[in-house]
Amino acid sequence: MSFFRKKRLFILLIGIIVLVALIGYSLSNRGNLTTAEQFINDSVGVAQRVIHKPIDFITNIFGNIDDIKNTYSENRLLREKLAEYKGLVYEVQEIKEENEELREIVEKTESIRDFNPIQATVTARSPERWVEQITINKGSQAGVKPNMAVITANGMVGKIQSTSPFTSTVQLLTGFDQFNRISATVSREEESDIFGLVEEYDKETDSLLFKIIEESEKDLEEGELVVSSGLGGVFPAGLVIGEVKEVIPDQYGLTRTALVKPAANFYEIDNVIVVDRVLPGVEEEEQ
């Protein structure tokens, strides 16, 4: 029994010695490797390449997915910023247009300082009567009365139809008919003025019909300015109505009618001025 134990111990010691010798031999600086070592190294290298390629492929897939996610997030953020920028640009443009309109209205207010201007803002507009009526935020409490002229920086848009304490309804020139007339004139420096009545709005030609009552030696020409004459007792004088487009005779050749292009844009009305015909000085004397 002891013989076999000694034999196994001897074999174990011999194995340890051989293993240490092999390790030392393999760690020594040798220029050439044994065939076994070359085979093991090549096998390990091939195995590493075989295992490393799918690992790299999978790693690249997950990396690409992360990149796509990051790109998507960045694009979404950029789109939001772009939308916000466009909104700011639009808002700045709207503010700029509104400021220009208000500056023009202020200039127009200064040009009619002999009258009593009441500045107002359009608050409502019925789709059914879009080109006929608008509602403004000033009423009888602000001194607004029926039949007062209503203008913008470009020209006359209509008159006050009805009032309540805090709002008023404006009848636009495009809603005028033969029962709503404006005494108007074409003022000239060298020639005599031409007087007439702006009677109604013609939808087919998109023009106001200016019926000529008193003519001048010189005929009306395209582009001449038509303004209120103040002779009708409703509108003050000098309010711009529009420009002459064309003059047409009636079927009998007795009277002539001028087609007048309105000076104001009736589809874009935001701020207006209600003009009181009574002069402030006269009003103070009456008081």
CA distance 13 to 21: 12
- Spell out the per-residue pLDDT of the chain, length 287, in tens: 565 566 677 677 777 776 666 666 555 555 555 666 555 655 655 555 666 566 666 666 666 676 777 777 777 777 767 666 655 665 666 677 677 777 777 666 655 546 788 999 999 988 778 888 999 999 999 999 999 999 998 889 999 999 999 999 999 998 887 678 888 888 777 777 888 899 888 888 889 999 888 766 567 788 889 998 888 777 888 889 999 998 887 766 667 888 999 998 888 888 999 998 764 444 433 33
Q: What is the pLDDT of residue 113?
A: 44
- Rg (C-alpha) for the chain, rounded Å, is 47
pLDDT given for residue 282 in this prediction: 42
Residue ranges covered by each domain of the chain: 37-111, 117-175+270-278, 182-262
Gap between the Cα atoms of 35 and 30, Å rounded: 13
Q: Which of 229, 275, 239 is nearest to 116 (CA)?
A: 275
For domain 182-262, is the CATH number 2.40.10.350?
yes
CB 266 within 8 A of CB 129: no
Q: Any idea what DSSP says for residue 270?
A: -
Decide whether 117-175+270-278 matches 182-262 in CATH topology.
Answer: yes
- State which CATH number among 3.30.420.40, 3.40.50.300, 3.40.50.2300, 2.40.10.340 fits the domain covering 117-175+270-278: 2.40.10.340
Whole-number pLDDT of residue 51: 62
Could you tell me the maximum CA-CA distance found in the chain, to the nearest angstrom? 154
